[in-house]
Amino acid sequence: MTVRDQLKTHLRENRRGMLFDLTFAIVWVTAVTILVDYVFVGAPTWAYYLFLAAGVPGYFGFVWSWDAARNQQQ
């Protein structure tokens, strides 16, 4: 199996997860940018980066709670 075939297989198997990750990242960065630019006008740059970094635990918390809710329904 060539590297290209392995990549195709990986993308096919993980398409939904990667699409979810990309969507979360785009929504998070957009929300943080809007908050810093329009709500907290004049906020320092470090606050912007802090909000962006908060997306990492926010992502894992969201995914964990979503999985917990799905498992509870079953």
38, with CB counted inside 10 A (0-12, 13-18, 19+), is: exposed
- Spatial contact of 36 and 48, defined as CB atoms under 8 Å apart: yes
| pLDDT attached to residue 14 | 86
- Spatial contact of 59 and 28, defined as CB atoms under 8 Å apart: yes
Please identify which residue in the block is written with the tokens 């990549």: 7
| pLDDT attached to residue 63 | 87
- 74 by DSSP, 3-state: which? coil
| pLDDT attached to residue 34 | 94
State which residues of the chain have pLDDT below 70: none
How many Å separate Cα 59 from the centre of its chain? Answer: 5
